[in-house]
Structure formats: C-alpha cells, structure tokens
Amino acid sequence: MKTKMFSGATGRVFILLCIMYFIEYVDRVNLSVAAPLIKAEFGLSNKELGLALSAFGTCYATFQIIGGYLGDRFGPRKLLALQGLLWAAGTLLTGFAGGLTTLVLARLLVGTGEGGTIAVATRAMSNWVPANRRGFAQGFTHSASRAAVALAPPIIIFISPHVGGWRGAFTVLGLASLVWVAVWYWYFRDDPARHTGVSPEELAALPVYADAARTTAGERKRVPWMALLVRMMPVTLVFFAHAWGLWMYLTWLPTFFVEHFHSTLTNSALYTSGVFVGAVVGNTLGGTLTDWLYVKTGNLNASRRNVVIVGFAGSILFMSCVLFVQNQTLVGLALAAALFFLELTVGPVFSVPIDVAPEFAGVATGFVSTAAGLAAVISPFTFGYIIDATGSYTLPFLTSIAVMLMGIVVSFWMRPDKTVGVPVARKGPNELKELKEQRA
C-alpha cells in the first residue's frame, strides 16, 4: 500500500506538526527580524544584541533531553500543549520588554517552551509515520520551519505598522501559538489506534505503538541512558555542526545585510527571505533522498551518512564564495545555495533517533537537539563578539566552515543500524524492492 502523508487522520496529524514547526520557528526568529529596530530603541551593542539572541538557546538547550524524556513518559499530546503555552507566553511578553534584561527574560521563557519540542514531535512521528517515510517526514516538517524563517521577515514587516510596531507583531504571533495549542490538544492522540478518525488501512501502515512508559505487564520501563548516549553522541556532534551554521543564519543574517551592505530593513528582510527559500527546498529533498537511498540500496548507514556528507560539502563550497564576493545579490545567492546544502542534512540526522530507538525516540532526539540548543547559545554570541573585535564578517564565516568540516568527519561514526530497546524490523530485499516500485 502506498503511503499517503497528507490525507486521512494521519495526514491531518502530520499537517498539525508541520504547522507547529512553522509557528514556533516564527516565534524563534522574530527577534532577529526586529533586531535592528530593537537594537536602536534600547541602545544595544552587537555583543549585547548577541546576548539577547543567545538567551533563547540557554533554556532551549537545557530542556531538550528533559522534554524528550517527559514526551516519552507522558505522551506528546499533553507535553506539546504545555510547551506551546510557555513559548506563546514568552512571545507575548517579548512585546512588553523595556530593555535588555526584560528582553532576555522573555526569550528565556520562549526557549523553555520550545526546548524539547522537536524531540517530542519526533516521538509523535515514531507512532504516526511509517518507517519508510521517516526521512521525508523529518525533512518536510523542518521545511515548514525554514518556510517560517523565509516568511517571518515580510510577515513581521507587513503587520507591524497595523498593530503598533514590532511590539504588536509579537502579540499577534503569541496569540497564533495559543490557537495551535487548542487545536492540537483537541485532535491529537498519542496512540493512533485510539484515534477514532484513523482507518484500518492507515493503522496497518504504521509501526506497532511502543509505549516507552510501561511494559506490556504494566511495569515502568527504565530508560537505557548510557546506551542511548553512546549511540547518539556522533549524531549529536554532526547536528551541532549543522546547528552552528543554521543559527548564524537565523540570528545574524538580517543584521549582516543591514550593516555589511548598508541595506534598508525592508531590503534586508527580502534578502533574508530569499536565502531561506533554499532551506525549504533542501530539507524536503534531503529527507526524500535519504529514504530513496535506503529503499534502493537497503544500506541504512550509507543512506543517512552520504546525504550528510554531500550537504556539508556543498555548504562549505558556497559559503566560501561569500569570503571573496562583494556584490549583495551574488552573496545572497551564494548563501541561499550554502543553506540549501546545509539543510540536506536534517532529514537523515533526525531519522537516526527513530531508527535506533523508536520507543525512546523522545530522549534520543533530545540528545541530538541539545546540540542545537548549545549552538543557539554559542554561535550568535560568538558571531557578535568576533564582529565587535574585528569589525569584519570574514572570521565568523570561516569558523562556520571549520565546524562543518568537523561534521563530515564525525558522520562516519553514525550507526543507525545499531538499535537500542525494541529491535527494529528491517525491510528485507523483497520488501525494499516493493517499496521502490511503489515510489516509481
């Protein structure tokens, strides 16, 4: 049976997850879009602005593993609703910030709410997405988040004059998050079999529901922390390399165009949106490509690793062009291409936690997402510090290139074929051939 990702109850759940990624990423990057205005209004230096931009990542990193664990134990339905309430509150409070301190506190609350959401969403996908579509599911949901980054600048620039400036824009975005929370809690169920809208055909295509909280005998399961740490550490380091570069884009790109090329805020927003179009395409393509390679070759390790290597190598190549090109349009195109290749790595990387430990996918993804949180703290602050120290954007870009080279090396230690917990049923040659014919 050919898997349909956007129809039926499973499709509606998948769409809800995509919307969550979109909304929370708008709430995540809205500060960077408004940063030139906030910087001027509060009289911030680049280092102080970097501190505000990094504040989100402090709590975001702290709550990744905690959020993943709670998602495994209590289920994605309750936990994502609670997290949504927190990040919505932080977004609303950002609009009432009166200076650096209150701005940082509001961003810490947004980071607390969003910390672990991707891990918990991955736990939901481990139950609601067929095994042969994991790469696509991870790639497409992240494409939704990158679409948010592409659309956030024009959205915020457009609505701000109608709602009282950048402060009103944050209020509108916070209310949108609250709407999503209500719909999610009303519609979603942790076990697809308990959802009245799931058809028998849909249920047959899904993995057997694995409850990470208890065994079939009702006993509480112990989380295999050390085994998960060992299996996830190479994946975590690989994703740190990705997240370092991504957070450079998420936090400093609008300011880069304003200060380096003396663009207006409107032009900066348009260039930033254009660059992130590459990310939207790259995420979906990377997820689709890793699934296709697995179906074609049956080699799970190569299908994840090789897409990661191509992604980092292409990103390094095009980011290097920025060091020698002075034309703003050409730099924008080079950055778009670099981000396209960087985002190819997301689908395969986030498929690995489900490959390795489907019943503990929340915790496993929490390890990986912690890397994003650490990068969210270190990368923006380092970027701002280096700019203030050198007066140039060259060294921060060179640093990102070096980190991505590290990601290529570490990718050879990723082993999605070595499982933890419930053994994963691999597709045999005949089943893989059948899947290949279905994709044709």
What confidence tens digit (pLDDT) does each residue in 297-314 have?
Answer: 889 889 999 999 999 999
Confidence of residue 128 (pLDDT cuts 50, 70, 90): confident
- pLDDT value of residue 404: 95
Separation between Cα atoms, residue 116 and residue 127, nearest integer Å? 17
Per residue in 163-194, pLDDT (tens digit) is: 888 889 899 999 999 999 999 999 999 888 88
The whole-chain average pLDDT of the chain stands at 84
Start-to-end CA span in the chain (Å): 13
Q: Which helix (H) or strand (E) is 63 found in, with range? A: none
Domains of the chain: 8-207+226-439 (1.20.1250.20)
Average confidence (pLDDT) over 10-38: 88
- pLDDT value of residue 179: 96
Separation between Cα atoms, residue 410 and residue 84, nearest integer Å? 34
- pLDDT value of residue 56: 83
- pLDDT value of residue 313: 96
Confidence of residue 234 (pLDDT cuts 50, 70, 90): very high
Structure token digits, residue 100: 């650096």
Q: What is the DSSP string of 366-432?
A: HHHHHHHHHHHHHHHHHHHHHHHHHS-SHHHHHHHHHHHHHHHHHGGG--TTS--SSPP-PPPHHHH
- pLDDT value of residue 211: 60
What is the reported pTM?
0.73
- pLDDT value of residue 378: 83
- pLDDT value of residue 218: 53
